[in-house]
Every structure is written in structure tokens, then in C-alpha cells.
Structure 1
Amino acid sequence: MSRSNQLNFKYILSISMISALGGLLFGYDWVVIGGAKPFYERFFEITDIPTLQGWAMGSALIGCIVGAAIAGKVTERFGRKKPLGLAALLFVVSAAGTGGFNDFNVFIVFRILGGLGIGLASTISPMYIAEVSPSIYRGKLVSLNQLAIVIGILAAQIFNYVIADPVPENMTDLEIMNSWNGQTGWRWMFWAELIPATLFFVLIFIIPESPRWLSKNKRWDESLKVLNNIGGAIYADEVQEQIKETLKEASEKVIKIGELFNGKNKKLIITGILLAFLQQWCGINVVFNYAEEVFTSAGYGVSDALFNIILTGIVNLVFTVIAMQVIDRWGRKKLWLFGSVGLGLSYLLIGMFYFYGLKGFALVVLVVIAIAIYALTLAPVFWVLASEIFPNRIRGAAMSLTVTALWIACFLLTYSFPILNSALGAYGTFWSYGVICILCFLFVKYKIPETKNKTLEEIEEIF
């Protein structure tokens, strides 16, 4: 919009930050289990049962997939605000329950509930921010969600490190189980999430409903009021007219999954799903999984390795902040292309190190560089593009389907990594992810237009 001097940026930023708390809880809930793992496994006596170890780590993914899958239907019917409140409540219940019981099956139930909250929040938070943000700020504000995720990850890493008592390397499983860490410490790692989760739940009552959802449901006066609070009367009239234009030919019935794959919608849905798979299969989660092993192989002790993992979280945070400053200036497409090339080269070099048996500080540097590139490019750009490319009428359902695809891709990546690593070796696995980065570059270069500084309605016309 041309009337940027009339925008109430403080108001826009405040409601966007509240919504982005969903991302912070997403990041914390996703990572906290890694620090608790050595202790709850001893407590539940599953250290020699790989299937239960995997189930404990991966059970939240089931909730993630279900939460993302139902988010579309829920947001289409109830708006964006109430489902965000539901996600906040799920985070509160999960945080309290995961550390509150002594039965492994109950532990799993609360992990799945936390995953359900992640699935809802990861879908709705960026969508809500996109729908309340003026075009000139949208990239930066939607990136708040990624920033919040990174802050949540770093917070979990720090809390895990601070809460856990030092563990001597010669401690037996029985000694660890009977220690403070094994009986109580791991519980506090989960309970620490209660503070931001409760804050999120309380603050949700403050934010307004999405003006675009209100308009879609013909609640024009309420929509106009929200838009007026965002940018004044002239801005509100202009944006509401644009929204009306895009909704003129829209059907009033609830969007069904089959309808998403009809006509022009089909290309957009396939684009969103491909972006989700490419962002996950760039392999960065494997880099995070390899971090502890890389640091240990470089000569660091266990405690130092855990501390170095916090440093990777700090790098992740710093480059996410940088991304927020440049995403509306450089554009989504340019950042994605740069990230694909940068990650591809990083994986080529990391693979060469493993192929020739080279380890040490240089390998650690390559891992940190890969994390920095991802944080600057693919991580925030995906969430911005996913919240922008779908038309107003189908945005809720389409975003839900895209984020569901993201979690399925994450599950497949996590599940297939040990298989690939066994069949191809570490070097072959990283080179495979490098090839995917090349495909990622080509897809975005030739299939994705630039969307910076365009309203959601203008983007709809482009696609």
C-alpha cells in the first residue's frame, strides 16, 4: 500500500508477536525432549528397547500431522483466533502432563497432545500474521513466526543445559535413573514450557480476528474495524474493496479437499506441497541431528558438545534476525535461490570430509555455516510463501494441507535417515541432500514468481 505512513505499526507488531508465540512454543516443545531423553529413558526403563525410544521421540509427529490436517477445517469454520487459543491450551496441558506422571503410555499421550498443538500453531500462526499485515511489512512480520520458533529452540537448549545436573561419564544407567536428573530434572524441562504456554493462552484473548476471515464470512463491519485499527479509514476501505473483489466469484460452501485440486487451485496446492517437501528434504534436520556427533568427533567432551549445541542455536537465532531485515528488501525468491546453492555447497564439502575421514574444527565450522544459511533463507521464506500464495477463499484449507505435507516430509526424512546412512554412508547421505538442493533451486527459479511488496489480493492475481 502507498499509505504506509498511516499504518499503526505498533499495533500490527503487537498482535503479530502474540500470534508468533505459537511458533515459540512449537520450537520449545519440538526440541525439549532431546535434553530430557537421557533421563526419561532411564526412568521408564526403555534404554534397551529401540522401538519405544523411537516412539517416545517421534510420537509428537503423529499429533503434528493430525493438528495440521484439521487446522484447515477448524480455521474455515471458527476463524484464526479461537483455534490459536486451542493450540495454546494444548501446549499448557501437554507441558503439565508430560512431566506429571510415572506411566510411559500416559507420557506418550501428552506428547501427542503437544504435537497436536504444534500442528495447529505451525499452520495458523503464520497465516494469521499474513492476513493482518500490510504488504510492505508482511515478509518481516511473518518471519516473526520463524524467529519465535528459533527462540523456542534456543530456550529449550538453554533450559535443558541449565536444569540438568552434570553427569559424570562413568555413571551407570541405574545411578542416572536414581539421580535428581532421572527422577525430577527431566520433568522440569517439560514444566518450564508452562510459562510461555500460559502467557500465550491469556494474550490470545487480546488479539482481533483476522479481517480476511471476517470478510469471507460477510462480517464486513467487524472486518472494517480491524482494518481501521491497522491502517486508518482510507487503508481499511481500500483493502476491504480488494478483498471483496477476490471473493466475488467465491462459493459460500465449506472448502473440501477435492476442490483444492480442481482448476487453478491444483497448481497452487502442488506448489505448496513441493515447497514443503523441498524445505524439509534440504536435510537441515539431519545437520541438527549430526551436531552432537560432529562436536564429539572434533574432540569435545560430552558437556562441551552440549554447550556447543547451544551455540548452534545462537547462530540460528542471529541469522533469523538478519533474515527478517532483508526478506522484504531482497525478496523471497532471491533468498531461496541463495539458500539452495549455499546448502548444496555445504553438503558437498561435509560429504567430502566424511568421505576422506577428515574431522575436527573445520567440520564443525561447515555444520554451523549450513545452519546459518538455512536460518537466513529457506526456514523463514517457506513460511512467508506458504502464507502468501493461496487465495483468500481457500487459504485456511490450503495452508493446512501444505503444513500437513511439511510434517509428513519431516517424518519421512527422520525415518529414512538411518536407512540412507546405512546404505550410502554419511558422505553419500549428505551428497544426496545436496542433489535435492539443486532440484530445489531449479524449481523455485523457474516456477515461483517474486511476491515481495504485493498485497495478498495482488499475489492471487499473479498466480
Structure 2
Amino acid sequence: MNQKKPILYIVFLSLTAAVGGFLFGYDTAVISGTIGQVSMQFDLNALEQGWYVGCALLGSILGVAIAGRLSDQWGRKKVMILSALLFAVSALGCAITHSFEALVIYRIIGGAGIGMVSIVSPMYISEVAPSKFRGSLVALYQLAITVGFLGAYLVNYQLLEWSASAFFSENTLLHLIIHQEVWRGMLGMELVPAILFLLILFAIPESPRWLVIHERKADAEKVFRQLYESRELAMQKIVEVKEQAAKTTATHWGLLKNPKILKPVLYGMAIAILGQFMGVNAVLYYGPGIFEQSGLSGGDALYYQVMVGLVNVMTTILALLIIDKVGRKQLVYFGVSGMIISLLMISIYFTYGESLGWTSMALLVLFLVYIFCTAISISAVIFVLLSEMYPNKIRGLAMSIAGFSLWVGTYLVGQLTPWFLENLGPSGTFLFFAIMCLPYMYIIWKKIPETAGKSLEDIEAYWLGTDTDKT
């Protein structure tokens, strides 16, 4: 059999699942271009405006809380289909709603799609990818998120341009969405990638490892034969999955009573929530305000933020190319060390920068170095590790627990960063972020094995103590 054929097929499956990451990024970022318009449309006060911005997070927490269990029961593919439907319903509803209350409900529905896809898409990729390329293929999901952010910004910009020109007749729905109330078009454009995601999901198979766990051997063999070069290799993978699964006789929550399985779940929770307290979301969400505190004008601050976004995308591409060659832990050692240094330098800038004669360009360089170090390490690694470090039987539930921790951390950072900036100042805030890098580095160093190049069954054997390779 032509060896290129299965590799291209695996890439197709991975790219399909990664479209969920694009929807994640788009749905998260598109809100930034609509806040002012929606606030004027519905005459929102400050509390209501905050609810509009943050309501999707409630949906995300709900989605991530049930996604793992649903994926363990129904299968990874069905839950991705459900998430695509939620994105589509949210986009269409936001475009045509006539009340603020309904708009919030539709945003929560979209948030549930975000929560589900943040668990199931990287998990599906990890279960179809060969060990040699698993890190790079799962990292496609993180890349898709950054591209989704960029796509939302570009769509918002283009729709604002179009809104000044009369493409559609008055008193029509399209005129309302594109011209009169363009925020509807911004939110509604998510319907296009959502429908695309839904359609291509019907062209991919269920995860073969899920099929084995659920005693669907014939279906699993069919999928594995598409992923590997021969029937012999396909049967070998089925045997490996069945043998490893047989070592864990309990199911779902019962498995957490086993200390050997509870351990990686707790470590996953720790790195998921700690990663949010190392500053990356504060920079991405509050960057313009932080730049303005350095003395920049609003326009320059937004330009600097665009530069931050571009570095984030380009560095994620680099991480995707090297993560399987360099290894997960080495990327973390390099990147987090750079994060600590750049965060400390940013803190020094806000304390002594003026007396040292540092310009705003120095702040931009420090932020770009920080984003580079973040994108090449914790941002690229987190979904890879979480998708591969758990036993097959409990992978969905364990990823839901870790994902729930990640979203709680995201919520807390979003709520606390303005308080930090007001009470600790930028200098104290970035010093705090630097300190939070230390426990993250320790856990990766001492508690997490290197997973690059290992099969999911090998990683499971490590946690269960049946593998002698304690990397």
C-alpha cells in the first residue's frame, strides 16, 4: 500500500476536527467588534454589557462539563456534530434575534459549542494520529484557534467596510444584517464555517479507539486499516487497545478511585488552571489597555495588539512543526523560561522604564518576546498533553475535568486582571504572572512524562506502573 495515502487521510481527519478550533477562536473573538453596537442597540448598562461579553463563558463551562461523558458514551464524532449544530443555531439566532434576552441565550448556546469542541476535537485527533506525528497534528487545533481569532477580526473589519455601501435593498433581512445593524452580520457569519464543519464531519469515521472500547471490533478494524499500511498493523493496534483497556476494569468515575489514574487527572487540572494565570489571556484580552497605560495613544495600542496577534499565529505554526521532534517538555522548559524573563522585564519597564529611558518600542519588543515564548510552549502543548495523557476508558471524562479547570481559570483571570491592574499596577501584575510560571514548570519537570513518540497505550501503561520507561 502507498504509505502516503494513510498519512494524507490522517491529515484530512485532523484538519476536519481542527475546524472546531477555528469556530472556538472565531466565536470568542468576534464579540470584540460588536460590544459598542449591541450596547447602543439595546441601551445596555455596564452590568448588562459585562453579561453580554461573558455569558458565552457560562455556556463553555456547561459544555465542557458534559462533553467528556457524552463523548465516552456517544462517541467523539457525534459530540463534534452536536457542537457544530450549537454553533450554527447560535450564529443564526444572534443574526435575527430582536431582544437582548434572546441574544444572550444564543450566545450561551454558542459557548456550549466552544466548551464541547475544546474537549472533543483535540481528543479525536490524538486518537487517530500515529505517535510520530501526534503532537503536530493535535497542535493544528491550537493553530486553528489563533486563525479563528484572526478570521473574526478580518470579518468584523470587512463587514464594517461593506456596511457603508448599499448592496441590498432596504426593508430586507440582508439589509438589516449587513448595513443597518452590522453586528448581526458579524455574529451571523459564524454560520458559514459551522455548516462547513457539520457537513465534513459526516465524511470522517468514529475514533477507532472508542470503537474498540465499545466492542465494535469490525468497525474499529475498518478505521485502523485506513490509518495504517496493512491489516496486520490494524489488528495489532486493536489488540494493544483491548489489552490496555482490560487493565482498568472500572468505568468513568469509578476509575478515579484508582490513585494511579487520579494522579494524571490532578496533574492535568493543575497545568490547565495554572496556564491561565501566567498572563497570556491578560495580554490577548487587555493588551490595548495595558499599552495605553504605558502612554500610547488608542490607535497605536490597537496596532501593537495586531502585532501581538500576528506573532501568536506565526509562532504557533513553528511549534506545530517542531513539537514532535523537540518534545513537549523541552518546549515548555524553553518557552516558560523565556516567559519568566520577559514578564520580569515588563514589570521592570513599568517600574523603572521611564528613568532608564526605555521607549514604548521596548515594551512592544518585550510583549512580542513573551507571546513568542507562550505560543511555542504552553499554548501549543496544553491541548496536546491533555488529549494524550489519560487512559482510553476515561479520556473523555478526564479531559472534561481538565477542561473545566481551564475554563474556570480563564474566567478568574478575566475577572481578576482589571483588579490586578488597578490595585497592583502593571508592574505588580506582571510580577505575579512571572511567579505563577514556577509551579507550572515544576509540575512539568517532576510529574509529567515526555509523551512525544509514544503510543497512547504506552502513556497509559506509564501511569498504571506497567511501563519501565519513566521519562
Counterpart in 2 of 1:433? 433
| 1:351 aligned to which of 332, 347, 368 | 347
TM-aligned CA deviation for residue 357 of structure 1: 5.7
TM-score by length of 2: 0.90
TM-aligned CA deviation for residue 293 of structure 1: 2.5
TM-aligned CA deviation for residue 370 of structure 1: 1.5
Q: Select between 3-12 and 332-341 the one with higher mean Cα deviation.
A: 3-12
Secondary structure at the counterpart of residue 451 of structure 1: coil
TM-aligned CA deviation for residue 187 of structure 1: 1.4
TM-aligned CA deviation for residue 341 of structure 1: 1.1
Counterpart in 2 of 1:384? 384
TM-aligned CA deviation for residue 66 of structure 1: 0.7
Counterpart in 2 of 1:269? 265
Q: Deviations over 1:253-306 (max 9, x none)?
A: 6512x6424321111110110010121111100011232124546676545544
Conserved in 1, the CA contact under 8 Å of 2:296 and 2:360?
no
Counterpart in 2 of 1:22? 20
| 1:33 aligned to which of 31, 37, 47 | 31
**Aligned pairs (5 A) from 1:267-416:** 267-296=263-292, 302-303=298-299, 305-356=301-352, 358=354, 360-416=360-416
TM-aligned CA deviation for residue 4 of structure 1: 11
Distance in 2, matches of 1:4 and 1:285, equals 44
Secondary structure at the counterpart of residue 34 of structure 2: helix
Counterpart in 1 of 2:168? none
Counterpart in 2 of 1:83? 79
Matched, 1:67 2:75: no
Conserved in 2, the CA contact under 8 Å of 1:76 and 1:254?
no
Q: Deviations over 1:186-231 (max 9, x none)?
A: 1111122111111001111001000000000000110011000011
Residue 97 of structure 1 aligns with an amino acid whose one-letter code is: G
TM-score by length of 1: 0.91
Conserved in 1, the CA contact under 8 Å of 2:162 and 2:179?
no
Counterpart in 2 of 1:9? 7
Counterpart in 1 of 2:181? 184
Question: Can you give the 5+ residue segments of structure 1 that lack an aligned partner in the other structure?
Answer: 168-178
Counterpart in 2 of 1:207? 204
Conserved in 1, the CA contact under 8 Å of 2:67 and 2:120?
yes
TM-aligned CA deviation for residue 43 of structure 1: 1.4
Residue 61 of structure 1 aligns with an amino acid whose one-letter code is: L
Counterpart in 1 of 2:451? 451
Q: Deviations over 1:98-141 (max 9, x none)?
A: 23223111111011001000000000000000000010010010
Q: Select between 60-69 and 306-315 the one with higher mean Cα deviation.
A: 306-315
Residue 420 of structure 2 aligns with an amino acid whose one-letter code is: L
Q: Report the CA distance shift for 1:254/1:441 in structure 2 as closer, same or farther (over 3 A).
A: closer
Distance in 1, matches of 2:50 and 2:213, equals 43
Distance in 2, matches of 1:425 and 1:410, equals 20
Secondary structure at the counterpart of residue 102 of structure 1: coil
Q: Select between 416-425 and 108-117 the one with higher mean Cα deviation.
A: 416-425
Q: Select between 391-400 and 435-444 the one with higher mean Cα deviation.
A: 435-444
Q: Report the CA distance shift for 1:32/1:45 in structure 2 as closer, same or farther (over 3 A).
A: same
**Aligned pairs (5 A) from 1:130-149:** 130-149=126-145
TM-aligned CA deviation for residue 181 of structure 1: 9.0
Distance in 2, matches of 1:346 and 1:23, equals 28
Counterpart in 1 of 2:226? 229
Q: Report the CA distance shift for 1:246/1:352 in structure 2 as closer, same or farther (over 3 A).
A: same
TM-aligned CA deviation for residue 88 of structure 1: 0.4
Distance in 2, matches of 1:156 and 1:43, equals 21
TM-aligned CA deviation for residue 50 of structure 1: 2.1
TM-aligned CA deviation for residue 346 of structure 1: 1.3
TM-aligned CA deviation for residue 164 of structure 1: 2.5
Q: CA RMSD in A?
A: 2.2
TM-aligned CA deviation for residue 439 of structure 1: 1.9
Conserved in 2, the CA contact under 8 Å of 1:332 and 1:450?
yes
Matched, 1:115 2:111: yes
Counterpart in 2 of 1:176? none
Residue 376 of structure 1 aligns with an amino acid whose one-letter code is: I
**Misfit runs of 4+, over 6 Å:** 179-182
Distance in 2, matches of 1:300 and 1:150, equals 25
Q: Select between 65-74 and 183-192 the one with higher mean Cα deviation.
A: 183-192
Conserved in 2, the CA contact under 8 Å of 1:42 and 1:182?
no
Conserved in 2, the CA contact under 8 Å of 1:154 and 1:310?
no
Conserved in 2, the CA contact under 8 Å of 1:291 and 1:367?
no
Distance in 2, matches of 1:301 and 1:418, equals 19
Corresponding residue pairs, total: 446
Counterpart in 2 of 1:241? 239
Residue 389 of structure 2 aligns with an amino acid whose one-letter code is: I
Counterpart in 2 of 1:421? 421
Q: Deviations over 1:51-106 (max 9, x none)?
A: 21211111111111110010121011100001100000111111111232231111
Distance in 2, matches of 1:104 and 1:450, equals 48
